Amino acid sequence: MTVLMQEMSWPAFEEKTKALAPFFLPVGATEQHGPHLPLGTDAFLPTHVAKEVAARVGGVVAPAIPYGYKSQPRSGGGQHFPGTTSLAANTLTLVVRDVIHDLGLHGARRFVVVNGHVENAWPVIEGIDLALRELRRDGIDDAVALRLEYWDFVQTETLDRLFPDGYPGIDLEHASLLETSMMLLVRPDLVDMSKIPNDGPAEFPKFDRYPTPPGLVPASGVLARAQGSTAEKGEWLLTDHVNLITEAISAEFSLQTR
């Protein structure tokens, strides 16, 4: 049986709510990822993780929110790159609120919001808070939501294998080794290894300046080196992400895994 909500009939959906299945909501972005990766990378990856985990815990994956909060230079390159299409923080908050609230009205009680875009964190938190408030207002006081960034679920040993000279941190990994390797596993048809640029890693001050100064971000939009990316490395990462998130959710909701 499918785990994708958009492929379910309403009776199948209702069965899932009666079983207290966890409902996963991937929240991504439509954002530049260099000349070698697609604009939808931040939606493809959390959706893949959500599908894999949902299959193990009997969950449902709601359609991903494909737009995220505004791209920032130090973590995403910035809004000036063609194709980067974003939401204001309040808009994203209200979308998350409305989706969770409606799912709750239709019987969902366990939510897992899987974030795929660094800048989304606080608008998503606010959306969850507002949704749970509205559900309580409507007499539904047993809803529980978990929010996570999938990249936090990785073993130190895996990062040491990937970065023997030291892990630069998730912000600089935009369109770099991690995302490129995972996309080579998840959607290799959308990766063009011949277009990986040679610039980077980016060097940023420890503050943000607006408007963004010209030349602050590498012209390619890639913030660190993507050379050496392979599907095998992507598999190392995604295995950790799926296994560790499955363990965390199963423990939190007392679920049996398949």
Does residue 199 carry a pLDDT above 80?
A: no
Q: Dihedral of CA 69/74/75/77: which sign?
A: positive
Lowest mean pLDDT among 140-149, 180-189, 202-211, 238-247: 202-211
Average pLDDT score over residue span 180-200: 95
Catalytic entry in 36, 101, 174, 241: 174
Is 256 a residue whose pLDDT tops 90? Answer: no
157 is catalytic: no
Please say if 48 is a catalytic residue. Answer: no
Q: What percent of the chain has a predicted confidence (pLDDT) above 70?
A: 100
Active site residue 42: yes
Helix (H) or strand (E) holding 146: strand 144-149
Choose the catalytic residue: 36, 52, 101, 119: 119
Q: Please pick, among 101, 179, 240, 241, the residue that the annotation labels catalytic.
A: 179
**Taking 90 as the threshold, does the pLDDT of residue 64 lie above it?**
yes
Active-site annotation holder among 33, 48, 101, 241: 33
* pLDDT (0 to 100) of residue 28: 98
- Using pLDDT thresholds of 50, 70 and 90, give the confidence band for residue 1: confident
Domains and CATH numbers, the chain: 5-201+213-248 (3.40.50.10310)
**Whether the predicted pLDDT of 246 surpasses 80:** yes
Would you state the pLDDT for residue 258?
A: 83
Q: Which of 117, 173, 240, 241 is labelled catalytic?
A: 117
Residue 85 and residue 208: Cα distance in Å, rounded?
20
Of 169, 155, 175, 129, nearest in space to 243 by CA:
155
**Catalytic annotation present for 149:** no
Residue 193 has pLDDT above 90, yes or no: yes
pLDDT value at position 141?
Answer: 97
174 is catalytic: yes
Owner of token pair 């607006």: 210
Distances in whole angstroms, Cα of residue 202 to Cα of each of 98, 166, 225: 37, 16, 9
